[in-house]
Amino acid sequence: MSVNTDLAHIFDEIAALLTLTGANPFRAQANERAARILRDMTDDVATLSIADDAKKQLTALDGIGGGTADKIIEFINTGKIAEHEELLEVVPGGLLDVLQIPGLGPKTVKVMWDKADVTSVDTLKEALAAGTIEKLPRMGAKTVQNIRDALEFQAKSSGRARLGVAMPIAQRIVEHLTNVKGVQQCQFAGSLRRGRETIGDIDILASTTKPKDIAEAFTTMAGVDKILAAGETKCSVRIDEGIQVDLRVVDDKAFGAALLYFTGSKEHNVRLRERAIKQKLRLNEYGLFPNDDDDTPPQSRGVKPVACKTEADIYAKLDLQYIPPELREDRGELDADIPRLVEVDDIKAELHAHTTASDGKFTIEELITEAQSRGYHTIAITDHSKSSAQANGLDEKRLRAHIQAIRTAAKQFKTMNVLCGSEVDIRVDGTLDYDDKMLGELDIVVASPHASLAQEPKKATTRLVAAVSHPMVHVLGHPTGRLINSREGLSPDMNAIIAAAVEHDTALEINANFMRLDLRDTHVRAAVEAGCKIAINTDAHAAAHIDFLRYGVLTGRRGWLTPELCINTWSKAKLATWLKLKRQ
């Protein structure tokens, strides 16, 4: 929903501008929270805001109060927010970019603005060159050099790394460190453990009897480009891929408390600490302690923690169910009944994969063998349709020959359920790329948008609702067509698509390719709440792609997806029955 995104951006700017004016930090925080809520919701805030009881509906959202609700309504009615405009008259907008530079916070930026006429990244560079920055208070040689380094790094950095890029790197490092002498536990934490679609940096947590050895092993490992910090408990390096990796070394007895802390999210941790306080407890990265109102940290006074060894212990002492990392986003997880979430081992069917018939690398036999080796009972072969000419899509004649070839090949695999399918293009007007007769000859139809992905939201909604309502369609493939960090894709009214999917018993796909992860987590959550069926498919074009499944499962878990709603976890018989019955 692009209005939600636009508004979220404005609230983030208001927050940043407020910090630069020295306003109450909690006021800034409230605006940041509003931005996060808007990004997380699938409801179109524009629709919500024109309702008769708009203010009531908005303030019903936890974290949105009267002031924010008024501003949202103001934006929907006028296209802008007066407070935002007024702040931009006082504070140069270019300072928002300066604030993005690591190490520079609001206090420092304000001093630069007041005393050195810095109003943008460019004027900061000029001030650095002119030597005016180093004359400011608390600006020593090291700080100035750090700013120069950060500017240089920012210029060549590509920003947040995709999940599927960061994960293998993190696993490699964890494996390397686990083999170091003295290491007791080692695993990655942070947004990577929570399965976010992009990762700012990689956090590794370890406990060891020999802290010096692990620090040495970490900073000297292959692929380290630059050592940023090398202390007793924390080391930071930048690796060749341009990603920062932090290693934290903690006491083995408190590994759980540290893991909880370093996994985050920050907002989830704040919620946990607030809850702890209400229970006369105090939570930090060393454990959950009795709260004796002494300002000195309890661990440094020898206070015995109530829990610290494992995350589960801490949740239990806070009277909470264990909350899986993927749910720790302050999206209501503390107040909810947490269901059993889908796991990689639950997946028994791949329902979207390509062969050499279109643009895949597998032959039919290779693809079936690959699926069989993963312990799947079902594999759907879904090559592209004719409109995807760039992907060597099949016309009707070639598709019919392909179906024959699949049926013949399948005879060699007695235990495998091999489905003849297609990934059919959803054309710009919502019609499909084959007629109903052709579609009827297929066991499974995955309908996906590939072209016109910058279509305006209303048309995109009509287009996708038509496809999801089509009686021959089983799965809506990568619904928005977005590519993470490179293409925004469609911004349809996702609730309308979910409603149509529920009505017509069509599954929505989580495309597990880490470039896509489409549906995204928040869409999955809305779909799951509506009782919509979900497919997790890898869209494999080559053997390595089948391993992308884990990213799809992580995204599903972030959307609170249970095995019951995930059609890839069903038994062979249940899945086959649904595929047939759906068309009746």
The answer to the question of residue 264 lying near DNA (CB under 7 A) is: yes
The answer to the question of residue 203 lying near DNA (CB under 7 A) is: yes
Query: Reduced to 3 states, what is the DSSP secondary structure of residue 526?
Result: helix
Comparison of 295 and 345: residue with beta carbon closer to DNA: 295
Site pattern 83..122 for DNA (x: CB under 7 A): x------------------xxxxxxxx-------------
Name the minimum Å distance from CB 504 to DNA. 37
Phi, psi of 518 (to 5 degrees): -140, 110
Comparison of 274 and 436: residue with beta carbon closer to DNA: 274
Task: Write out the binding residues for DNA, residues 119-138 only, by CB under 7 A.
Answer: 137-138
Total residues found in the chain within this entry: 584
Q: Which of 457, 454, 504 is nearest to 476 (CA)?
A: 504
DSSP state of 359: T
- Helix extents (H) in 120-265: 121-130, 141-156, 163-178, 190-194, 211-219, 255-263
State the Cα–Cα distance between residues 224 and 238, nearest whole angstrom: 6
The answer to the question of residue 285 lying near DNA (CB under 7 A) is: yes
Numbers of helices and strands, H then E, in the chain: 24, 16
The answer to the question of residue 157 lying near DNA (CB under 7 A) is: no
Name the minimum Å distance from CB 181 to DNA. 22
Taking CB under 7 A as the binding criterion, the range among 28-36, 115-123, 419-427, 471-479 that sits at the site for DNA is: 28-36
Comparison of 138 and 414: residue with beta carbon closer to DNA: 138
From first CA to last CA, the distance across the chain in angstroms is 34
The answer to the question of residue 207 lying near DNA (CB under 7 A) is: no
Comparison of 234 and 583: residue with beta carbon closer to DNA: 234
Name the minimum Å distance from CB 404 to DNA. 56
Q: Which of 82, 229, 454, 530 binds DNA (CB under 7 A)?
A: 229
Q: Which of 86, 225, 274, 505 binds DNA (CB under 7 A)?
A: 274
Name the minimum Å distance from CB 80 to DNA. 15
Task: Write out the binding residues for DNA, residues 286-305 only, by CB under 7 A.
Answer: 286, 291, 297-298
DSSP per position, 240-285: TTS-EEEEEEE-GGGHHHHHHHHH--HHHHHHHHHHHHHTTEEEET
Amino acid at 547: D
**Cβ 249 vs Cβ 212: under 8 Å:** no
Q: Which of 119, 143, 356, 392 binds DNA (CB under 7 A)?
A: 143
State the Cα–Cα distance between residues 441 and 421, nearest whole angstrom: 9
Number of residues that bind DNA (CB under 7 A): 61
Q: Which of 52, 89, 232, 335 binds DNA (CB under 7 A)?
A: 232
Name the minimum Å distance from CB 264 to DNA. 6
Q: Residue 89, Cβ neighbours under 10 Å: how many?
A: 7
Provide the b/e sequence for 557-577 (b: ≥16 CB within 10 Å).
bbbbbbbebbbbbbeeeebbe
State the Cα–Cα distance between residues 35 and 6, nearest whole angstrom: 9
- Residue that the structure tokens 């080692």 belong to: 186
Q: Which of 17, 46, 64, 468 binds DNA (CB under 7 A)?
A: 64
Comparison of 36 and 541: residue with beta carbon closer to DNA: 36
Q: Which of 161, 276, 394, 446 binds DNA (CB under 7 A)?
A: 276
Greatest alpha-carbon pair distance for the chain in Å reads 79
Strands 198-199 and 161-162: antiparallel
- Residues near DNA (CB under 7 A): 24, 26-27, 29-31, 34, 59, 62-69, 83, 102-109, 137-144, 146, 190, 200-201, 203, 229, 231-234, 262, 264, 266, 269-270, 273-274, 276-278, 282-286, 291, 297-298
